[in-house]
A and B are shown apart, each in its own frame.
Chain A
Amino acid sequence: DAKTTQPPSMDCAEGRAANLPCNHSTISGNEYVYWYRQIHSQGPQYIIHGLKNNETNEMASLIITEDRKSSTLILPHATLRDTAVYYCIVSLVYGQNFVFGPGTRLSVLP
Protein backbone atom coordinates (compact mmCIF):
# COMPACT_ATOMS: atom_id res chain seq x y z
CA ASP A 1 0.00 0.00 0.00
CA ALA A 2 1.06 3.57 -0.68
CA LYS A 3 2.40 5.45 2.34
CA THR A 4 0.84 8.71 1.17
CA THR A 5 -2.65 10.18 1.04
CA GLN A 6 -3.67 12.77 -1.53
CA PRO A 7 -7.00 14.34 -2.52
CA PRO A 8 -8.36 12.62 -5.63
CA SER A 9 -8.88 15.82 -7.57
CA MET A 10 -8.33 19.58 -7.50
CA ASP A 11 -9.07 22.54 -9.74
CA CYS A 12 -6.92 25.61 -10.20
CA ALA A 13 -7.42 28.76 -12.27
CA GLU A 14 -4.84 29.42 -14.95
CA GLY A 15 -2.14 31.81 -13.73
CA ARG A 16 -2.83 31.14 -10.07
CA ALA A 17 -0.71 29.05 -7.72
CA ALA A 18 -1.64 25.38 -7.44
CA ASN A 19 -1.05 23.92 -3.97
CA LEU A 20 -1.18 20.13 -3.89
CA PRO A 21 -1.16 18.55 -0.42
CA CYS A 22 0.16 15.15 0.59
CA ASN A 23 -0.01 13.35 3.93
CA HIS A 24 2.72 10.89 4.85
CA SER A 25 2.31 10.50 8.58
CA THR A 26 4.27 7.21 8.77
CA ILE A 27 7.35 8.52 6.96
CA SER A 28 10.62 7.32 8.47
CA GLY A 29 13.70 9.43 9.07
CA ASN A 30 15.62 8.33 5.99
CA GLU A 31 12.76 8.48 3.51
CA TYR A 32 12.56 11.19 0.89
CA VAL A 33 9.40 12.79 -0.48
CA TYR A 34 9.20 12.67 -4.28
CA TRP A 35 6.71 14.33 -6.59
CA TYR A 36 5.95 13.18 -10.11
CA ARG A 37 3.25 14.07 -12.57
CA GLN A 38 1.74 12.13 -15.43
CA ILE A 39 0.09 13.59 -18.46
CA HIS A 40 -2.23 11.28 -20.37
CA SER A 41 -0.40 8.64 -22.45
CA GLN A 42 3.03 9.65 -21.15
CA GLY A 43 5.25 8.22 -18.43
CA PRO A 44 5.55 9.89 -15.02
CA GLN A 45 7.68 13.03 -15.11
CA TYR A 46 9.96 13.83 -12.19
CA ILE A 47 9.22 17.20 -10.57
CA ILE A 48 11.09 17.56 -7.30
CA HIS A 49 12.14 15.73 -4.14
CA GLY A 50 13.26 16.57 -0.63
CA LEU A 51 14.16 15.18 2.76
CA LYS A 52 13.66 17.85 5.40
CA ASN A 53 14.24 21.26 3.92
CA ASN A 54 12.02 23.09 1.50
CA GLU A 55 13.16 22.75 -2.07
CA THR A 56 12.66 24.83 -5.21
CA ASN A 57 13.52 24.25 -8.83
CA GLU A 58 12.41 25.62 -12.17
CA MET A 59 9.20 23.61 -12.09
CA ALA A 60 7.90 23.84 -8.54
CA SER A 61 8.48 24.31 -4.82
CA LEU A 62 8.21 21.61 -2.19
CA ILE A 63 7.26 22.57 1.34
CA ILE A 64 7.76 19.85 3.98
CA THR A 65 6.37 20.38 7.47
CA GLU A 66 8.77 20.36 10.37
CA ASP A 67 7.46 17.00 11.62
CA ARG A 68 7.71 15.69 8.02
CA LYS A 69 4.24 14.20 8.22
CA SER A 70 2.94 16.21 5.31
CA SER A 71 4.12 18.24 2.35
CA THR A 72 2.77 20.59 -0.29
CA LEU A 73 3.80 20.88 -3.91
CA ILE A 74 3.41 24.41 -5.22
CA LEU A 75 3.17 25.26 -8.89
CA PRO A 76 3.53 29.06 -8.69
CA HIS A 77 1.75 30.04 -11.90
CA ALA A 78 -0.30 27.14 -13.22
CA THR A 79 -0.83 26.83 -16.95
CA LEU A 80 -3.17 24.61 -18.93
CA ARG A 81 -0.22 22.31 -19.63
CA ASP A 82 0.05 21.59 -15.91
CA THR A 83 -3.19 19.60 -16.08
CA ALA A 84 -2.08 16.11 -15.05
CA VAL A 85 -2.17 13.48 -12.30
CA TYR A 86 0.29 14.37 -9.56
CA TYR A 87 1.84 11.63 -7.44
CA CYS A 88 3.45 12.07 -4.03
CA ILE A 89 5.75 9.18 -3.06
CA VAL A 90 7.94 8.47 -0.06
CA SER A 91 10.97 6.31 -0.62
CA LEU A 92 14.27 5.41 0.93
CA VAL A 93 17.56 6.95 -0.09
CA TYR A 94 18.64 5.82 -3.55
CA GLY A 95 15.03 5.58 -4.65
CA GLN A 96 14.01 2.02 -4.07
CA ASN A 97 11.00 0.83 -5.99
CA PHE A 98 8.30 3.43 -5.72
CA VAL A 99 4.85 2.67 -4.33
CA PHE A 100 2.40 4.91 -6.17
CA GLY A 101 -1.03 5.80 -4.88
CA PRO A 102 -3.84 7.02 -7.16
CA GLY A 103 -2.50 10.61 -7.03
CA THR A 104 -4.32 13.92 -7.42
CA ARG A 105 -5.87 14.82 -10.74
CA LEU A 106 -5.20 18.56 -11.16
CA SER A 107 -7.32 20.41 -13.67
CA VAL A 108 -6.10 23.89 -14.61
CA LEU A 109 -9.07 25.89 -15.84
CA PRO A 110 -8.90 28.82 -18.28
Chain B
Amino acid sequence: DTGVSQDPRHKITKRGQNVTFRCDPISEHNRLYWYRQTLGQGPEFLTYFQNEAQLEKSRLLSDRFSAERPKGSFSTLEIQRTEQGDSAMYLCASSLVSGDNQPQHFGDGTRLSIL
Protein backbone atom coordinates (compact mmCIF):
# COMPACT_ATOMS: atom_id res chain seq x y z
CA ASP B 1 0.00 0.00 0.00
CA THR B 2 1.58 3.29 -1.07
CA GLY B 3 -1.01 5.61 0.45
CA VAL B 4 -0.77 7.84 3.52
CA SER B 5 -0.36 5.73 6.65
CA GLN B 6 -1.35 6.78 10.15
CA ASP B 7 -0.59 5.09 13.44
CA PRO B 8 -2.29 4.21 15.68
CA ARG B 9 -5.78 3.99 14.19
CA HIS B 10 -7.38 4.32 17.61
CA LYS B 11 -6.13 5.78 20.87
CA ILE B 12 -7.96 5.83 24.18
CA THR B 13 -6.40 7.72 27.03
CA LYS B 14 -7.26 9.44 30.27
CA ARG B 15 -7.59 13.18 30.55
CA GLY B 16 -4.28 14.81 31.32
CA GLN B 17 -2.13 12.25 29.56
CA ASN B 18 0.12 13.01 26.59
CA VAL B 19 -0.42 11.32 23.24
CA THR B 20 1.60 11.16 20.03
CA PHE B 21 0.42 10.22 16.57
CA ARG B 22 2.51 9.35 13.55
CA CYS B 23 1.90 9.99 9.86
CA ASP B 24 3.86 8.48 6.96
CA PRO B 25 3.07 10.40 3.77
CA ILE B 26 3.17 9.11 0.23
CA SER B 27 6.78 8.68 -0.78
CA GLU B 28 8.35 11.85 -2.25
CA HIS B 29 5.41 14.04 -1.27
CA ASN B 30 6.99 17.23 0.01
CA ARG B 31 3.94 18.73 1.69
CA LEU B 32 2.26 17.22 4.73
CA TYR B 33 -0.92 18.43 6.46
CA TRP B 34 -2.67 17.72 9.73
CA TYR B 35 -6.43 18.14 10.15
CA ARG B 36 -8.86 17.44 12.97
CA GLN B 37 -12.42 16.20 12.48
CA THR B 38 -15.17 16.03 15.06
CA LEU B 39 -18.37 14.05 14.68
CA GLY B 40 -20.67 15.38 11.97
CA GLN B 41 -18.24 18.09 10.83
CA GLY B 42 -15.81 18.39 7.97
CA PRO B 43 -12.08 18.24 8.68
CA GLU B 44 -10.47 21.39 10.09
CA PHE B 45 -6.94 22.42 9.18
CA LEU B 46 -4.33 22.37 11.95
CA THR B 47 -0.92 22.80 10.36
CA TYR B 48 1.22 21.94 7.37
CA PHE B 49 4.85 21.29 6.47
CA GLN B 50 6.80 21.87 3.31
CA ASN B 51 9.61 19.33 3.63
CA GLU B 52 10.77 19.78 7.25
CA ALA B 53 9.60 23.39 7.63
CA GLN B 54 6.32 24.06 9.43
CA LEU B 55 4.85 26.86 7.32
CA GLU B 56 1.42 27.49 8.79
CA LYS B 57 -0.42 26.80 12.02
CA SER B 58 -4.12 27.27 12.63
CA ARG B 59 -5.42 29.10 15.68
CA LEU B 60 -6.91 25.70 16.58
CA LEU B 61 -3.39 24.49 17.31
CA SER B 62 -3.11 25.50 20.96
CA ASP B 63 0.19 25.48 22.84
CA ARG B 64 -0.59 21.95 24.02
CA PHE B 65 -0.21 20.75 20.44
CA SER B 66 3.10 20.33 18.67
CA ALA B 67 3.93 18.85 15.30
CA GLU B 68 7.25 17.89 13.81
CA ARG B 69 8.59 16.57 10.54
CA PRO B 70 12.27 16.22 11.38
CA LYS B 71 13.64 14.76 8.16
CA GLY B 72 10.99 15.89 5.78
CA SER B 73 9.44 12.44 5.63
CA PHE B 74 7.18 11.17 8.44
CA SER B 75 5.53 13.54 10.88
CA THR B 76 4.36 13.35 14.49
CA LEU B 77 1.59 15.24 16.23
CA GLU B 78 1.77 15.41 20.02
CA ILE B 79 -0.96 16.58 22.36
CA GLN B 80 0.09 17.33 25.92
CA ARG B 81 -2.25 17.32 28.93
CA THR B 82 -5.18 16.04 26.90
CA GLU B 83 -8.65 17.44 27.52
CA GLN B 84 -12.12 16.07 26.78
CA GLY B 85 -12.42 18.49 23.86
CA ASP B 86 -9.44 16.88 22.15
CA SER B 87 -11.54 13.82 21.34
CA ALA B 88 -11.64 13.75 17.55
CA MET B 89 -10.30 12.09 14.42
CA TYR B 90 -6.85 13.39 13.52
CA LEU B 91 -6.20 13.20 9.80
CA CYS B 92 -2.96 13.49 7.90
CA ALA B 93 -2.68 14.32 4.21
CA SER B 94 0.20 14.73 1.81
CA SER B 95 0.72 16.26 -1.60
CA LEU B 96 3.44 16.92 -4.12
CA VAL B 97 4.04 20.57 -4.87
CA SER B 98 5.38 20.66 -8.39
CA GLY B 99 4.80 22.39 -11.68
CA ASP B 100 1.24 21.18 -11.99
CA ASN B 101 -1.52 21.19 -9.45
CA GLN B 102 -1.72 18.05 -7.34
CA PRO B 103 -4.45 17.14 -4.85
CA GLN B 104 -3.98 16.20 -1.22
CA HIS B 105 -4.26 12.52 -0.36
CA PHE B 106 -5.54 11.61 3.08
CA GLY B 107 -4.86 8.79 5.46
CA ASP B 108 -7.62 7.05 7.41
CA GLY B 109 -6.84 8.99 10.56
CA THR B 110 -6.24 8.34 14.23
CA ARG B 111 -9.36 8.40 16.37
CA LEU B 112 -8.62 9.81 19.82
CA SER B 113 -10.98 9.22 22.71
CA ILE B 114 -10.38 10.99 26.03
CA LEU B 115 -11.91 9.32 29.08
Contacts and interface: CB of A to CB of B under 8 A. Distances in A.
The answer to whether A and B assemble together is yes
A7 B91 CA distance: 24
Q: Is the interface of A mostly helix, strand, loop or mixed?
A: loop
A94 to B, nearest CB: 5
Interface stretch (B63-71, B74-82, B106-114): B106-114
A43 B45 contact: no
Nearest to B103: A46
Interface residues of B, number: 27
A97 B48 contact: yes
B41 A32 contact: no
Q: Which range contains the number of A residues in contact with the other chain? A: 20 to 34
B104 interface: yes
Interface of B: 4, 31, 33, 35, 40-45, 48, 56, 58, 91, 93, 95, 97, 101-109, 111
